[in-house]
Amino acid sequence: MPAGRTTGDLRFSYDRDDARRTTAEGHLKGEDLDLAWLLRRPVKIDRVDLVAGDNALRIRQAAMNWADQRATLSGAISRGAGGLVINARLDS
């Protein structure tokens, strides 16, 4: 059964044929999200803070636990001339 809390209004559209038409707008915050029921693996998002707009999705903070392996992620995904550009920091 799903658990945790989320707030916000994040709209996301991904075009597999043309990544330039991928869009995201809004914000999303969440905490204590247990995804084991969905992924069939022990995955929990302790907290996440996303904001999208101006052709970028910014990951202000994401902290997760995958089978007792903790990790934090921050950065941005934006659209570049050749497709999507990921500039991120992952600590584990």
The number of domains in the chain is: 1
CA torsion angle 63 66 67 71 (round to 10): -50
- Give dist(CA 3, CA 45) in Å, integer: 10
Q: Is residue 32 a contact partner of residue 3, using CB atoms and an 8 Å limit?
A: yes
Pairing between strand 83-91 and 69-80? antiparallel
The pLDDT profile of the chain, 92 residues, written as one tens digit per residue, is 567 899 999 998 888 888 777 888 999 999 999 999 888 999 999 999 999 998 899 999 999 999 899 999 999 998 888 778 999 999 99
- What domain range is 69 assigned to? 3-91
